[in-house]
Amino acid sequence: MSNSPVIHMESVTKKYYIGEPNELQILFDIALDINEGEFVSIVGASGSGKSTLMNIIGLLDRPTDGSYALSGNDTKSLDDIQLSRIRNKEIGFVFQNFNLIPKINAVRNVELPLLYAGMPQKKRTERAMELLELVGMGDRYTHDPSQLSGGQKQRVAIARAMANNPSIILADEPTGALDTKTGRMVMDLFHKLHKEEGKTIVLITHSPELAQETDRMITISDGRIISDAERVPSLIRPDSDSDSDREGADAE
Amino acid sequence: MNFIESIKMAFASLMINKMRSFLTMLGIIIGISAVITITTIGNSIQKTLSNTFNTLGGATLELYLTVKDDYEGEWSEEEEEDMITLEMVDELLAQHPNELYMSVTQNCGKASIPKNDTVDLQVNMLAITDSQFKLPTVRKQIVKGRAISKADCEQCKHGCLVSDVFVEQYFKPNEDPIGKTLTFTMETGENYHFTIIGVMEYTELEKNQLGMNQIRNLDEIETHIYVPYHTMLKLSGKDPGEQTMSWVDIGWTNDCDVETAKKYCHEYFDEKYANNDQWEVEIFDPAEQMGMINTVLNVITIAISIIAAISLIVGGVGVMNIMLVSILERTREIGVRKAMGALNTDIRRQFVIEAIIICLIGGLIGVAIGITNGFVISAIAKAIMNSVASQYAEYITLTVQPSLTAIFVSLGFSMLTGLAFGYYPAERAAKMNPIDALRYE
């Protein structure tokens, strides 16, 4: 495993309406390192800036100031096309409202990142089926999103996020639109991906209970990180080597 | 993402909303079908006119004597020795035996044939060459026996063609006319003998012209008898070198075309008349007259087509409108695609191709409708002609000829419409900010 963190942020700030009377600063001086294989949660009340932070991590938005390196590459100098490519290859998005494309079936939805990566149709379908199998949706691949339940949709969305084998999975309130039981199922899936596939997962949530399940909990309030706590080795998941790796990184 | 993927994707998303896609196409369909209908009609009129023209005698070149452009001497009537002779024509034809032929119908005056003691049948003697019955102008059918052959002419045989009407007049029913010899008493008093080698049939129009419907007594009808040209020439005691004509019709076979035929005639007669101070042989091609009519028709067709094409702009605005609505509806989808790594160009291309495909499919449907309209209108025209001017019907072949140029141009134009009116909405989609797009409700 690499020594450099997957996500490395230094004094990142984000302002809107710069230079106008209603100038608004959302993020203040964020410094953040997330290592490969970590399962991190970012917690904060609504309006705390966690979504803005997620957009910046996901390269959908650029910081006003500060530096952000993804997998060791500084993102400041990248143009839109390069950002799109990195989003495509390095980041898997899971949204609260699933954001599956309506009227096209599960396989085609999962194929989407592969399509933009330029993979040929046949290989795309193969890979998509594999992923749907992984998330337990192997029997529903021809279903349209409208024919799937919330939990099923979210599992398809997770399969889609995994498509290009990204460095990080960015999950924005993935259980927010689900009931407790299906939410649980989705969380179990994240744990499975973390444990079995060794995925780096960043979970954005407003629920402290869900955050408790992760290795590390970062709390944001009013645009500042107010706490960054390692979870005490837990009941849910025995320690893996990723923990020692993280400790090494923390020691820097 | 490659081009074919984009096309597939565009088709898929058009299939999702079939009704809307079709309604969007409708503007394009109407525009294109109007253009294709008009050009098909224009083109078909042209084709029909030129076919009819050929049927009615356009398919020969008329060679005639004319005064040379640079002649400065005293004007005088053409002398016997200046005239085109049959010998010349025969020589010209001999040079290009399978390509050119002479088309002659010479009226040799009236003759009478005694039917019985009391009745003499009056006939018109027409001297023709062997090629005469091959001409599209001559729509008479040989119903019995054979037509006048080349050998009949060359060897000056005494064979003749009679008409079905004559057979009715002269022979008893069931009597076989072939091989019977007739005695023709010419107006000059001479008696000629010809043996019937074939029977031809008059067309309805000709029968009308002969007065079949007005004249009660069948025997009063003057029918036509065809005899070999060279035979008549010989009977009149003339040599082909002496037989002069002020004009001659030259036709061409399928092995030749009009331009080559003109070239041959020019080559031959320019040389023949090279030493003649005053006279030369000029060629008149009746088909050239068609050129002017065609030009007028073309101008009208294009003018109306342009007016019809304006409706395409209306259709294009419809496409743009729907594309804008569709893009607004799919804002979230665009956001997702961008988050998944779609480039602006991918998004732009997706929507531009959707617009182009709508227009192209609309265009294809329009072309199909336009061509169908052409056939429908032709069927109606045929029905009208048959009821109003049936006697001419056999001379006029209605041809439906869709204009290929118009089809390609209008398909190209409809694609261009898609591109022009699809680009702005697609550009808007491509420029969307992914964060805002993802949040769009």
Residue type, position B218, single letter: L
* Mean pLDDT, residues B372-396 taken together: 81
* β-pair type (B105-114, B120-128): antiparallel
Q: Are B148 and B197 in contact (CB under 8 A)?
A: yes
Structural domain spans, chain A: 7-250
pLDDT of amino acid B182: 86
Mutate which of A83, A104, A116 to disrupt the B interface (most B C-beta within 10 Å)?
A116
Q: Are A54 and A172 in contact (CB under 8 A)?
A: yes
**CA–CA dist B244, B236 (Å, integer):** 13
Closest-CA residue of A relative to B332 is A99
Given the structure tokens 């390609």, which residue do they identify? B408
Closest-CA residue of A relative to B17 is A103
Residue B285: exposed, middle, or buried by beta-carbon count in 10 A (0-12, 13-18, 19+)?
middle
Is A104–B336 a contact, with Cβ atoms under 8 angstroms apart?
A: no
The better pLDDT of the pair B138, B156 is held by B156
Q: Are A159 and A132 in contact (CB under 8 A)?
A: yes
Q: Look at residue B85 and tell me whether its pLDDT is greater than 90.
A: no
- Of B53, B66, B40, B5, nearest to B283 (Cα)? B66
CB proximity A62 to B under 8 Å: no
Out of A55, A61, A116, closest to residue B340 by CB: A116
B141 — phi, psi (to 5°)?
-105, 140
The CA distance from A101 to the nearest CA of chain B, in Å, is 6
**CA–CA dist B159, B398 (Å, integer):** 37
3-state class (DSSP) for residue B407: helix
Is A101–B333 a contact, with Cβ atoms under 8 angstroms apart?
A: yes
Fold of A7-250: Rossmann fold (3.40.50)
Mutate which of B18, B340, B441 to disrupt the A interface (most A C-beta within 10 Å)?
B340
Q: Give contacts of A56 with chain B, Cβ < 8 Å.
A: none
- Of A167, A114, A160, A159, nearest to A133 (Cα)? A159
Structural domain spans, chain B: 3-55+289-439, 77-277
Alpha helices in B67-200 (DSSP H): 86-95, 150-154, 164-170
CB proximity B346 to A under 8 Å: yes
3-state class (DSSP) for residue B404: helix
Q: How far is CA A159 from the centre of its chain?
A: 13
Q: pLDDT band at residue B394, thresholds of 50, 70 and 90?
A: low
Out of A84, A85, A99, closest to residue B336 by CB: A99
pLDDT per position as a tens digit, B154-182: 788 888 888 888 888 888 888 888 888 88
Residue B294: exposed, middle, or buried by beta-carbon count in 10 A (0-12, 13-18, 19+)?
middle
* β-pair type (A200-205, A39-44): parallel
3-state class (DSSP) for residue B402: coil
pTM > 0.95: no
Is B342–A117 a contact, with Cβ atoms under 8 angstroms apart?
A: no
Residue A150: exposed, middle, or buried by beta-carbon count in 10 A (0-12, 13-18, 19+)?
middle
* Mean pLDDT, residues A152-179 taken together: 92
What are the Cα distances from residue A168, in Å, to A40, A70, B433? 11, 10, 22
Is A84–B338 a contact, with Cβ atoms under 8 angstroms apart?
A: yes
Q: pLDDT band at residue A239, thresholds of 50, 70 and 90?
A: very low
Is A116–B341 a contact, with Cβ atoms under 8 angstroms apart?
A: yes
CB proximity B437 to A under 8 Å: no
Residue type, position B332, single letter: R
What is the count of residue pairs from A and B with beta carbons less than 8 Å apart? 61
- Which element (helix H / strand E) includes B362? helix B344-388
Of A68-72, A143-147, B56-60, the range with the lowest mean pLDDT is B56-60
pLDDT of amino acid B331: 94
**CA–CA dist B51, B398 (Å, integer):** 8
What's chain B's average pLDDT? 84
CB proximity A88 to B under 8 Å: yes
pLDDT of amino acid B183: 86
pLDDT per position as a tens digit, A23-52: 899 999 999 999 999 999 999 988 888 889
pLDDT of amino acid B237: 76
Sign of CA dihedral B337, B343, B344, B350: negative
Out of B12, B335, B346, closest to residue A104 by CB: B12
Of A157-166, A203-212, B115-124, B335-344, the range with the lowest mean pLDDT is B115-124
CB proximity B18 to A under 8 Å: no
Q: Look at residue B138 and tell me whether its pLDDT is greater than 60.
A: no
**CA–CA dist A147, A153 (Å, integer):** 9
